[in-house]
Amino acid sequence: MSQNRSFLGTGWSFPPTFDRNLKSVLMVSDLDDIVQSLTILLDTSLGERVMQPKYGANLDKMVFEPINTATLAEIDDIVRTAIIYHEPRIRLIEVTMATHLQNEGMLPINIVFEVRSTNSRFNFVYPFYLREGTAGP
C-alpha cells in the first residue's frame, strides 16, 4: 500500500468507506480532505466529541429559527468562529447565505476560502437544512 504524503493532509473518507479488495479504508487528501473536514466541523455540535468538547459549530440550535437578519448574522458568526478555530489549513475569505431556498427548508451556506499553503482560492457550499426531515440523500 502506497502512502500519500500530501502536505495538505490525508485522512479517512467521510463517511468511512472500506475497500474489501485492498483490505483498507478509503483515504482522501488535499482539497477533498479539507472539504470533508469542513462538512464534519459544521455537522458536529459542541460537546458531541467527548475528547474535544469545544470542537463543532452548534448549527443544530438554529434549525427552527426564523430566517431574518439576526438569525443570518448568528449563523455567519457560528460558521466563522468554528472555521477560524478548527481549520488552520485555510484562511476564511467570505461566508454568505442564499435565502432563496428557505421555503424548501434549506439555507445554502457559501464559504469562500484560501488554502494557506498554496494560496489557492476555493468555494464550498454547505447545505444547512432548516427543518427536521428535510436532509438530502
Which residue would you say has higher pLDDT here, 28 or 59?
59
Is the CB of residue 105 less than 8 Å from the CB of residue 130?
yes
**What's the rounded Cα separation, in Å, for the pair 97 and 129?**
12
Which residue in the block uniquely carries the three cell numbers 487528501? Answer: 29
Considering the segment(s) 10-129 as one domain, its CATH architecture is Roll (3.10)
| Banded pLDDT at 91 (limits 50, 70, 90) | very high
**10, containing H or E segment:** strand 10-12
pLDDT at 50 over 80: yes
Which residue would you say has higher pLDDT here, 81 or 105?
81
